[in-house]
Amino acid sequence: GHIVRNWKVRWFVLLQDKLLYYKIEGGKKEPSPKGRILLDGCTITCPCLEYENRPLLIKLKTKTNTDYFLECCSREERDSWALDITGAIHAGHPVQVQELHRMKNSFKLLDNISLHDIVKRMYDSSTGIKLTRNLDQGNRYKETFTGSALVDWLISNSFAVSRFEAVTLASMLMDENFIRPVGARSTEAMRFSDPSEKFLDDSTALYMFAESGKKNTSSKEEVQFNISELSGTIVKQGFLVKQGHKRKNWKVRRFVLRADPAFLHYYDPTKEENKPVGGFSLRGCLVSALEDNGVPAGVKGNVQGNLFKIITKNDIHYYIQASSKAERVQWIEAIKPLT
């Protein structure tokens, strides 16, 4: 809302030159829309992280510098709307429409940037792309990332200014064998003759570094941390209960919060060696308390309450329980300034 900054469900209709929104689904019973956003001269930001706890935002800034924040119901829906709105913004300008269609084939890297530079940044433990384990049609893949996560990362690190450019850049990385598709969804896309359709900006399409498949590391060697990320000043530490990503079980972990650089690491208190079993950069993260009335979606098992959630910039969700509401508040207040 523009006057009262609350969030309301609206039915949106995208036209060639404007975005209309209605109070009632379908808009059929309303004589006129509740409002309209003129797309001529608009700029679009996606993903937009200006609002905490809302990772599915699209931001539209009109040529009169009015900001609109629109929240979608899923990552796929957000990216689909962003793609269509971008097309509509340029639709009134024939020259820009032609540029839009040529963008993927004409995209060029900046003179001072190479694909090797991008891959090196992707590998960086603090600012690089987050690697996760994924299951696809019964097959388990380690150290993977999704197509949409790579597109988000390329844009947020200023290697591309739009999703069109980011997809083109990702396709170049794949053509040069820096990354490769894994799983049915991304592998199937390789059969397309059109180069622009070979890489998928999709949260179900999996990719990995081309060299990852050649590494044979034991499970103890899988989690490695850069010395620099463990060198920050300790801001806060203590025991919390964390939900596992794979089995969704809850385990006590000793958490250590560091600044400069800002990282949150967690340790297994049953092990004598003082090495973290996990951790992540807090840059671009969202942290919020979860209400205690009912179990939130994504949370399973024995939940005692005092929950809070951290969403990384790569859309990885961490669910954590504190021993009391006061402790939960203390952790959230300590983490927020470092995001």
CA angle 29, 30, 31 (to 5 degrees): 120
- Would you call 334 helix, strand, or coil by DSSP? helix
The pairing of beta strand 43-48 with beta strand 11-14: unpaired
Determine if residue 127 is left, alpha or beta; phi over 0 gives left, psi from -120 to 50 gives alpha, anything else beta: alpha
Residues in the chain: 339
Which band of pLDDT confidence, cut at 50, 70 and 90, is reported for residue 215?
very low
pLDDT(117) > 90:
no
The lowest-confidence range among 12-21, 94-103, 241-250, 255-264 is: 94-103
Q: Could you count the other beta carbons within 10 Å of the beta carbon of residue 165?
A: 20
Backbone phi and psi for residue 196, each to the nearest 5 degrees, phi listed first: -70, -15
Are 279 and 253 in contact by the 8 Å Cβ rule? The answer is no
What integer pLDDT is reported at residue 151 of this predicted model? 92
Q: Does the CA dihedral 292-297-299-300 come out positive or negative?
A: positive
Give 98 or 180, the one with higher predicted confidence: 180
Tracing tokens 């090196």 back to the chain, one arrives at 120
pLDDT(1) > 70:
yes
Give 199 or 291, the one with higher predicted confidence: 199
Mean pLDDT (the chain, rounded) = 79
The pairing of beta strand 233-243 with beta strand 263-267: unpaired
What integer pLDDT is reported at residue 331 of this predicted model? 96
Each residue's pLDDT tens digit, 297-327? 556 666 667 889 999 887 788 999 998 889 9
The pairing of beta strand 233-243 with beta strand 206-209: unpaired
Are 141 and 183 in contact by the 8 Å Cβ rule? The answer is yes
What integer pLDDT is reported at residue 292 of this predicted model? 60
The mean pLDDT value for 38-59 works out to 82
Q: Could you count the other beta carbons within 10 Å of the beta carbon of residue 104?
A: 18
What integer pLDDT is reported at residue 161 of this predicted model? 84
Each residue's pLDDT tens digit, 135-149? 776 677 888 999 999
Are 139 and 183 in contact by the 8 Å Cβ rule? The answer is yes
What integer pLDDT is reported at residue 152 of this predicted model? 92
Give 221 or 249, the one with higher predicted confidence: 249
pLDDT(239) > 80:
yes
Give 40 or 333, the one with higher predicted confidence: 333
Q: What are the helix (H) ranges across 75-190?
A: 75-91, 94-106, 115-123, 147-156, 163-175, 184-189
pLDDT(11) > 60:
yes
Each residue's pLDDT tens digit, 58-105? 999 888 778 899 998 887 788 888 888 988 887 655 455 455 455 544
CA–CA gap between residue 90 and residue 241 (Å, rounded): 49
Burial 203-225 (b: 16+ CB within 10 A, else e): bbbbbbbeebeeeeeeeeeeeee
What domains lie within the chain, and their CATH numbers? Answer: 10-104 (2.30.29.30), 115-209 (1.10.10.10), 227-336 (2.30.29.30)
- Would you call 29 helix, strand, or coil by DSSP? coil
The mean pLDDT value for 15-26 works out to 82
Which band of pLDDT confidence, cut at 50, 70 and 90, is reported for residue 225?
low
